[in-house]
Structure 1
Amino acid sequence: MYGSTDLSFHGSTFSLSSNNLQRKNEEDRLGIATTALFIVGTMCGTGVLTIPQAVVNSGYIGPAIILTCGIKAAYTGTLLGKCWTILRNRYPEYENDRITDPYPTIAHRAGGRVAEIATRVCLDITMFGTKVVLLLLISSNISDSISDIGHHDFSLCYIVMITTGVLIPLSWLGTPKDFWQAGLIAACASIVAGFFVFGSMITSTSNQSSPEHAEPQWSLFMSAAGTILFSFGGASCFPTIQLDMRRPSKFPISAIIGISVVMSVYLLVGITGFVVLGDNMKPNVLNALPGDWMSYTVNILVTSHFFMAYLIFNNPVSQEIEGILKIPDKFCLKRVLLRTTLALTVMFVALTVPHFDVILSLLGGTTIVLVNFVFPPMFYIMLSKQRIPSDAYGPLPSHLTKRKQSAIDSTSLVTQSSFQSEEDVSNNPVWTQVQVELHVKVILIEIIIFGIVGGGCSTYFSIASLVNGKSGFTVPCYVNTSVGL
């Protein structure tokens, strides 16, 4: 692909096709360690504050659920990476061109237009719901800070509206792709915040009596499972991160390192909260910590992270809607109106259901389960059944179309096992087959069943808690202005 080292002119355009350009592009890409840190930043955010309550509600089995979900998220995340590697070998154009939506592309090639639409809808709902959660957490942390300085009568309802007003003009800006350092700083902030939460809980033991642990209830247990599933929701972004790696085939190593760090932080704060605070835990762990300098530091760290994460999650949804409505990819009145409307919609949902733990459980049991635990193994199995190009959805690969091949000699196919690396098949001239062994297929089906059953139960009990009033649902302030959230 980069065989030429000549400088050439095409019309009035100067073109550089050289190994120097290739090396420069390679230097701009992510290494294994940086990719692992991005994975931590994608996942480790709300979980630092919400995992302790989830462990308390799920009892002694809570840490086991964290380990199970983390291991499955790592495995399904690497499956997505393998799916993208398969497509890059089958379709050279995906390797040469920049693909901005690899996950929906995988869905389209594996299951057709319906699978692509379902994936896009789930991803958009997940990102929109995450924005609601982040808005509530930002507002809650700001409210706690105001209360700490003596103003106890300032309603969270108004803080949500003020925060939205601050976020609206910032949401008009373009994508933050040129500020990747901020993403890395946010990841580090989450890790540091986790250790500060641990330290604050440990220092509070002198002021705490022996913690009580009530018998877990099924409704609370399943809602806690949804919260834990939500905390590992970043795996759906793995293909996008993989695109920017120098060596995409090494992505599984980064995924294992990143998720191991996330699980360690979650276990640290979750087990400590269960042992130290017990039933005194709150949905937001900051509300259960003593008001000392460590809790204030955690508040600043995580609020900064959430603020930045809100803007990052805002862009994919906004850009997709702008593409559907054919709004120009530049700052204009249409962009301002659309993104302002989206921000106000997020605010409306946040004011209607002002309990982020309920939203966490709902998302964790529905869209996040689908994009993290159901779709990846399903698409991998579908891709493995495509023995020749005509079995796949969408147009034929460009190299076959250009050569005007009407048929493919079955003897020219190259077989790839489910654990081969990208380098082993990089010279594949026609099509890459995938052989999924029986025991691997059993594991994939088990993960799909785990996701459907676990997500369904979590969703049922989350909805039931809203219906029967156990979620603590209050009348929205736009219905009764005297109600303080």
Structure 2
Amino acid sequence: MTQMDAILFIVGELAGAGLLALSEALSNTGVIGILLILMCASAAAYTGGLLGRTWIYLESQYADLSTGHVRQPYAEMGRRTYGSWMGRVILTLMNITLFGTSVVLLLVSAELIQQLAAGALDTCIWVLVLTMVLTPVTWLGSPQHLRAPAMFALVSVVAGAVLMVVQMVTFPPEERPHVPLSPPSLATFCLGLSTIMFSFTGVSTFPTIQLDMAERARFSRAAVGGFAGLCMVYVPVAATGYMVYGDTVNINLIQNFTPGPLLIVIQVLLTVHFLGAFVMLINPVCQNLEGALHVSGASGLTRQRVLLRSGLMLMALFMAETVPSFGKIMHLIGGTFTLMLTFILPSLLYIRLRGEYRGTSKHGYKRYLVKRFYLSSLCLLCVALSSVVVYYSVDEIVAPGTFQTPCYLRWWLGPGAGDVDGLNSTTTVTDGLNVTAPSDM
């Protein structure tokens, strides 16, 4: 894999639900949210580069890392740096993050298909249908050649982003009513920030991408290029959506669009992208569980593999039907696991190794102290942010007035049972603007 291949792979893999949700994040944070997107991208590119440098150093110290196949390089870095306990912590966090992100993609895909079907079935039903369709696909082993899927994911999401901007800028200004732009509160700001951080979930996969590169030492440049490309996809869509729809923007930006042929093309492109990304994200979780449970049949389809992966899909289905709002799951993951895997752990690993390899020169020691201060400050800031964001994210899920009834309880108790302030009603679109913000999703 060349450096350019790595850049394209990063953009194709990381660009996901954030494309739909960042406009709503700007509505929650205000115009400063654009700066927050750029700052988070810069920090993630930097810490992603730190992971690359950490791996290069470990390869120089441990010959088995440079000559043998490493299945979980991020977890291996933790094990070699802090001990086996850190390796287990990182692997657990990665599995939870990948699983939670997969659930988000499942919910987003179900909502897009529900819109394509003109509301013929409830989104909760589409989640069930998609789970049944995708489960046999997850029985297969991991793809041996990921370049083609990555390129397809990149093309589909970039094309979808361009068409989304076209859809918004061609919406006649005279048909837009006055769009309110309210100042953010602490709660909305924290939720918007968590969405922004979730949009850059995926740094934990960087070591795997680096191992496929012919020149691994150049991965730091690939990380910078990848996040620059990601911002070129995210920022125009997010900023345009915020300026056109203001506070009326839905967490699923597409729900604000005027129905028409262009909207159908956008929905198809993004649905295909999200479904493909779901399979690619859930597969490593399946493999990790198979390794932990010593499930045989790594090269073939076995009963154990079918049962384990089907069980994992049932767990994803249960989570999606329990919290039928991808935005709420995004907020929780973005404020916890993304912060840990993207910002805190890469900094801790690098500080530990840099302390052992800072050299004996006075200049080298000063550079180490400056970098340690910066990274330690970043870790403390992330811990403080996480504490506040988690509070508001959990409150959003369970608080009266925001609680959404799980799908299975609605089916059991009957239509409309447990609805709170209309939160489970259907979102309608008139002249490209939300008329009723509440929706099933």
Structure 1 length-normalised TM: 0.82
User: How does 1:152-231 map onto structure 2 within 5 Å?
Assistant: 152-206=119-173, 207-231=175-199
Runs in 1 of length 4+ with deviation above 6 angstroms? none
Q: For 1:42 and 1:292, how far apart are their aligned partners in 2?
A: 28
Letter of the structure 2 residue corresponding to residue 144 of structure 1: Q
The aligned residue for residue 228 of structure 2 is 260
Structure with larger Rg: 1
Residue 112 of structure 1 pairs with residue 83 of structure 2: yes
What amino acid does structure 1 have at the position aligned with 2:368? E
Matched, 1:90 2:58: no
Q: CA deviation at 1:437?
A: 2.1
CA deviations on 1:331-374 (whole Å, 9 max, x unpaired) are 10010011011101100100000010010010001111100010
Distance 2:351 2:60 in 1: 17
Deviations 1:398-436 (A, max 9, x none): xxxxxxxxxxxxxxxx9599xxxxxxxxxxxxxxx9985
What does residue 77 of structure 1 align with? 48
Identity %: 31
Q: Does 2:302 correspond to 1:372?
A: no
1:303 aligns with 2:271: yes
Residues of 2 paired with 1:54 and 1:184: CA distance?
Answer: 28
Give CA-to-partner distance per residue, 1:188-222, whole Å, 9 cap, x none. Answer: 21122111111111112433123111221221111
Superposed counterparts of 1:240-319, under 5 Å: 240-319=208-287
Is the Cα–Cα contact under 8 Å of residues 98 and 282 in structure 2 kept in the other structure? yes
Cα distance in 2 for partners of 1:121, 1:456 equals 20
Offset of 1:133 from its aligned partner?
0.3
* Partner of residue 351, structure 2: 381
- Cα deviation 1:61-111 (Å, max 9, x = unaligned): 110110110010000000000110011101121111111111000011111
The 1:383/1:436 distance shift into structure 2, 3 A limit, reads farther
CA RMSD of aligned residues (A): 1.9
Conservation of the 8 A alpha-carbon contact between 2:8 and 2:150: no
Could you tell me which residue of structure 1 aligns to residue 432 of structure 2? none
Q: 1:53 to 1:177 in 2, by over 3 A?
A: farther
For residues 360 and 436 of structure 1, the distance between their equivalents in structure 2, rounded to whole angstroms, comes to: 37
Is residue 395 of structure 2 the alignment partner of residue 476 of structure 1? no
Q: Is the 8 A contact 2:22 2:238 kept in 1?
A: yes
Residue 132 in structure 1 maps to residue 132 in structure 2: no
1:60 aligns with 2:28: no
Return closer, same or farther for 1:477/1:31 CA change in 2, 3 Å cut-off.
same
Which structure 2 residues correspond to residues 322-341 of structure 1 after superposition, within 5 A?
A: 322-328=290-296, 329=298, 330-341=300-311
Residues 1:145 and 2:112 are matched in the alignment: no
Task: Tell me by how many angstroms 1:457 deviates.
Answer: 1.5
Q: Distance in 2 between matches of 1:137 and 1:375?
A: 29
Q: TM (normalized to structure 2)?
A: 0.90
Contact 1:140 1:156 (C-alpha < 8 Å) held by counterparts: yes
The number of equivalent residue pairs is: 411
**Hey, what does 2:378 align to over in structure 1?**
447
Where does the alignment leave 5 or more consecutive residues of structure 1 unmatched?
1-29, 388-413, 418-432
Cα contact 1:416–1:434 (8 A) shared by 2: yes
